[in-house]
Amino acid sequence: MIKESISGIRAYEHDFTEELISKYIESFRCILDPCKVIIGRDSRKSGIKISKIVKKYLASQGVHVLDAGICPTPTIEFLTKELGYDGGIVITASHNPLPWNGLKFINADGTFLNKAQMEKLLKLKRTIEIKREGTKSAEIIEDNKIRRRHVEYILELKPIDIELIRKKNFRVVIDAVNGACSETAPELLTEIGCDTIEINCDPTKPFPRNPEPLVENLKELSEKVKESNADIGFAIDPDGDRLAVVSNEGLPIGEEYTVVMGIELILSKCSDNSKKNVVVNLSTTQLADIVVKKYNGNIFRSSVGEINVVELMKKVNAIIGGEGNGGIIYPECHYGRDSLVGIVLILQMLAERNINISEYVNSLPKFYMIKDKIKIKNKDLQNVHKKLENVKNLLKPDSIDFTDGIKLLWKNYWLHIRPSNTEPIIRIYSEADNMGFARELVEKIKDLLKNE
């Protein structure tokens, strides 16, 4: 199985043949015409083989390669721009379980290829011919310590007071699911003075559970936080762009709060007359709107997908953004979702306010989000649109947004139906101040789509 989307390429490892990989890389090369490329990978064993194929092909075409080894996606994004590389490639299937792997492609500015670029790449791949080895192979440099540059930069970010965080001596449990952040995240936490307890931080081992950092997958982390009397628990996905939090009470609070806490800290640092623009995607919690309004800021919503958020952030000159799946985008570091940046922003907020996670969560209005999905043969949402027209009068939304699938909005709740960028499914999200009502909204749409 092979899944091609704006987010990159994902496939079962046995479908990633050398010929197919080479076609993707040659298509990437045709778009960016790079002289030098940095690559990294998550901890999947199949990444070793894929990495060798990528390096070999690029070097054979005269492209200088820096191989950062096992390295978080946000680190490769940061390093691509910071070191002046012409592009980057990350070998990862993100939160997909084994036996998936994949390819993510990065521009010279450290951002993912946009929709137009990815469409061009995929079109080229269908007809492109793999080039034979050139007359002179370029150099391949391996440096698995280069990721340190990213950590050093994070520690120098303006909102971060390292000494203040160190004085708090937070006890932190970190669960990196044996992924790309297994070494980097504990190193960062130790450097900022945390009493760090590691679970699943061995990149030589397989994922111990479903690697997506959803509430239902964080039982071990929750138990460890309670057992250790820790202040907070962090869970990171395999390639390090998503961050979920477990409270001091051992309760997973959900990924949605990650970006909310990041927004809270950054807006609190702004002067009253400064421009406080924030961008999140259409599926992100309405708590983001509440926090932005608290600081008299402006919130903008994009289609789901990191590059969509990033492009809108650049357009409106946003000071922070992200996605409700645990992805904070802070442009003072780089334009990409970054779990490591998320960790320090959250700890900074807790240290400044002398509060714990539970106190912060309890200070906000309570909303319940349901995230569900359904497999559907026809992913053309036009048919879904027609079905929804029949129930629009029944649901009576205050407004409808067709930017990314269909989003129905009311004063205090919403429902979002859209095709996944990474899986052959329709995602159905709802949020309301009543769990039963949020679930009821989702079930109505699921029944509707099943009868499609």
- For residues 281 and 301, the answer to whether their CB atoms sit within 8 Å is yes
Pick the catalytic residue: 22, 94, 182, 247? 94
> What are 275's two structure tokens?
């421009």
Q: How many CA atoms lie within 13 A of 385 on its CB side?
A: 10
Greatest Cα pair distance in the chain: 68
Write the CB contacts of 344 (distance below 8 Å, at least 6 apart in sequence).
Answer: 154, 155, 157, 160, 165, 188, 192
Residue 97 corresponds to which amino acid?
P
Dihedral, CA of residue 258, residue 353, residue 288 and residue 318, to nearest 10: -90
Residue 248's nearest CA partner among 228, 227, 225, 219 is 225
Tell me, rounded to whole angstroms, the distance of Cα 279 from its chain centroid.
14
Residue 94 known to be catalytic: yes
Under 8 Å between Cβ of 248 and 191: no
Under 8 Å between Cβ of 329 and 322: yes
Is residue 355 within 8 Å of residue 231, measured between CB atoms? no
C-alpha pair distances (Å), 394 with each of 206, 388, 391? 48, 10, 5
Under DSSP, the state recorded for 112 is B
Q: Cite the active site residues.
A: 94
